[in-house]
Amino acid sequence: MQQARVLHTEVLEQDRDHLLSTLERLKIEFLNRVSHEFRTPLTSIIGYSDLLRDERSLDPEQQAEIVQIIGDESRRLSRLLNDYLDLARLESGRTALLKQNTDLVGLVNQAINVLQPIARRRSITIEFEIPAEQMMVKIDPARILRALLNILSSSLKFTPERGKIKINLHASASYMEIHVSDNGPGVCDDGLPFLFNIFGNGKDPVREAQGAELGLAIARYLVELHGGSLGVNGTKGSGSVFTIQVPQN
């Protein structure tokens, strides 16, 4: 009996040590990713600011282009910071939902209006198949709008110039669904389990090269807070289809 207790204790200690080692590794990976994601826009901002200050021969068109880059990178840095802060709040469980009856058609149009300027700059068409009837569901509209914006931003990021993104709605007896499809590179099979992972996109080299997609992790949290789900289908080279599912009641 004594020997069995000793063996049990040793196993528990090994499990604890393995868990601590795994947590430490994940923490290091997370910090490395954070530092890398913040370093890239910061390097651009500093470099172009120095160029704008020191280079006297820049013509007005070049100056305007540099100012645009600095602004874009500053906004990117701000989004990254907000994404990390939002993830921390969501994982702490302190996020409350303010549900109200919401028309999904209006919500989708709102998201399109926000991102349409980015789509136009890259000659990407966003098509919305508007249903004939209202699509009413009780949700927190701000939270689902944020999830939808994050998904559309990801689709815009990977859709090639002159590409197309399609949005359609579907109602079943139990769920309301928002489908977002694009003609980007899709997701390789090995990368699917990691797509909504804050530590990276796993074995998908195309998405991994573009950096962390914290927006998708946040979107998943926000949809799951409603008792719904966020999934993705598609194969490498054939585009992706994201589906937001939220309960009818």
Beta bridge partners of 178: 169, 244
User: What's the rounded Cα separation, in Å, for the pair 213 and 205?
Assistant: 13
Percent of the chain surpassing pLDDT 70: 74
- Strand pairing category for 241-247 and 229-233: antiparallel
SS3 165: strand
Q: What pTM was computed for the model?
A: 0.71
Query: How much is the mean pLDDT over the chain?
Result: 80
Domain with CATH 3.30.565.10 in the chain: 100-247
100-247 CATH pick, 3.30.2010.30, 3.30.420.40, 3.40.50.720, 3.30.565.10: 3.30.565.10
User: What's the rounded Cα separation, in Å, for the pair 230 and 143?
Assistant: 13
Burial class (CB in 10 A: 0-12, 13-18, 19+), 107: buried
- Dump pLDDT digits (tens) for 143-201: 999 899 989 988 888 888 999 999 999 988 889 999 999 988 777 666 566 677 765 55
2-92 CATH pick, 3.40.50.10860, 1.10.287.130, 2.40.170.20, 1.10.4190.10: 1.10.287.130
